[in-house]
Structure 1
Amino acid sequence: MLRPFLIMTVLGLAACSPPPERLAMRPVQSALELRPLVGSAMVRTVTLPTYAAVEEIAFETPNGLIASNEDILWADDPQRAVTIAITRNLSDILNTNVGPDPWPFIGLPDVAIDIQVERMLAGANGTFSLTGQFYVGGDGIDYRNISQPFSISKPMADSSLGGVADAQAAALLDLSERIARTLGR
């Protein structure tokens, strides 16, 4: 008799808790404009570390541990949001067809871009770090394969979650510009 009462009590309390708030990454515009060396490009994969791939916003604590805030979540799936941000940035910089996987256009893209992120974290030192490696390979044309590491640090205006989101957007723009320089002149 006590067990059904406890279950109903727990379910009732869970129903009363407010939904978590959500934080959107605000896009940043690039001033860079390049002439594309390719007609199209597909951002095929973006892999993120486990702590960065979940909805909770991760940050580094002063003792070097990674923690998260479960009360405020990212507004979108982080992998999807990063893929869309890089796709949009590359399209704007190169002024050519750039799309995510699955490829939204007819025919094959000229090149595919894969990004493997090792670290994407708001640091306890007030900087946002984005490190990893990106790969560009020709799918539809004869294009030399490129493998390039990246290590990007952006200062956060403050330690607020908005400061984290803005620094992350700036770091992703920097990465997009680096990739665009391999695909344009």
Structure 2
Amino acid sequence: MFSRLMVLAIAACAACTPLAERAALAPIPSALELRPLVGSAMIRTVSLPTYAAGEEIAFKTADNLITLREDVLWADEPERAVTLILTRTVGDILNTDVGPDPWPFVGLPDVSVDVRVERMLGGVDGTFQLTGQFFVASEAAAFRDSTHSFEISEPMTDATVASISAAQSAALLKLAEQIAATLGR
């Protein structure tokens, strides 16, 4: 009896709490077209800092503190969304098989790309920063393993969620183009 009342109370409270709005990242198509040096590539699940991996939207304040907005949440899990955007964009640039981890095709990919983000954050200074490293490892082809750093800054028009989202999408486009440039010519 007690557990049934508890379930009903929790359900009633959940119904009274307004749901947060959701913001989606939109991939930006690249004008870059490269000839691939590999037949296939896997983008491993992107590693994000803790503040960027949650559904809350992170923002750097004037005091250099990271604050999380809870009124608007990301529409998708950030690691998944970033991985899929990079996968799609790199595949479009190279016009070859590019898939996320776990590898959706039969056999091994020629290379895997492991992206580790150190900073993915917009701030009151009007700049969105995306920094980190990506690693290319040969899986099934004779391709030289390599390490690459990236430091991408995108301007933001203001501190709104729409501006943060647009700047993040533009930064991810630049990162995808950098990754594609290491796998093509």
Q: TM-score, normalised by structure 1?
A: 0.93
**Gapped runs of 5+ residues in structure 1?**
none
User: How far did 1:108 drift?
Assistant: 0.7
Report the counterpart of residue 146 of structure 2 in structure 1: 146
Report the counterpart of residue 177 of structure 1 in structure 2: 177
| Residue identity opposite 1:62 in structure 2 | A
| Residue identity opposite 1:37 in structure 2 | L
Question: In 2, distance between residues paired with 1:181 and 1:76?
Answer: 27
The number of residues matched between the two structures is 181
CA contact (8 A) 2:130 2:171 kept: yes
Report the counterpart of residue 106 of structure 1 in structure 2: 106
User: How far did 1:10 drift?
Assistant: 7.7
CA contact (8 A) 2:45 2:80 kept: no
Structure-to-structure mapping, 1:53-132, within 5 angstroms:
53-132=53-132
Structure 2 SS opposite 1:29: coil
Q: Cα RMSD (Å) of the superposition? A: 1.8
Q: Deviations over 1:69-92 (max 9, x none)?
A: 111100000000000000000000
Structure 2 SS opposite 1:88: helix
Q: 1:12 to 1:115 in 2, by over 3 A?
A: same
User: How far did 1:26 drift?
Assistant: 1.4
Q: 1:8 to 1:173 in 2, by over 3 A?
A: same
Q: Deviations over 1:75-114 (max 9, x none)?
A: 0000000000000000000000000011111111000000
Structure 2 SS opposite 1:18: coil
CA contact (8 A) 2:134 2:149 kept: yes
Q: Deviations over 1:53-79 (max 9, x none)?
A: 000000001111000111110000000
CA contact (8 A) 1:34 1:184 kept: yes
Q: 1:64 to 1:97 in 2, by over 3 A?
A: same
Question: In 2, distance between residues paired with 1:148 and 1:9?
Answer: 53
Question: In 2, distance between residues paired with 1:166 and 1:33?
Answer: 22
Question: In 1, distance between residues paired with 2:139 and 2:60?
Answer: 39
Q: Deviations over 1:4-27 (max 9, x none)?
A: x9x987874443011111000111
Q: TM-score, normalised by structure 2?
A: 0.93
- More divergent stretch after superposition (9-18 vs 33-42): 9-18
Question: In 1, distance between residues paired with 2:26 and 2:145?
Answer: 32
| Residue identity opposite 1:16 in structure 2 | C
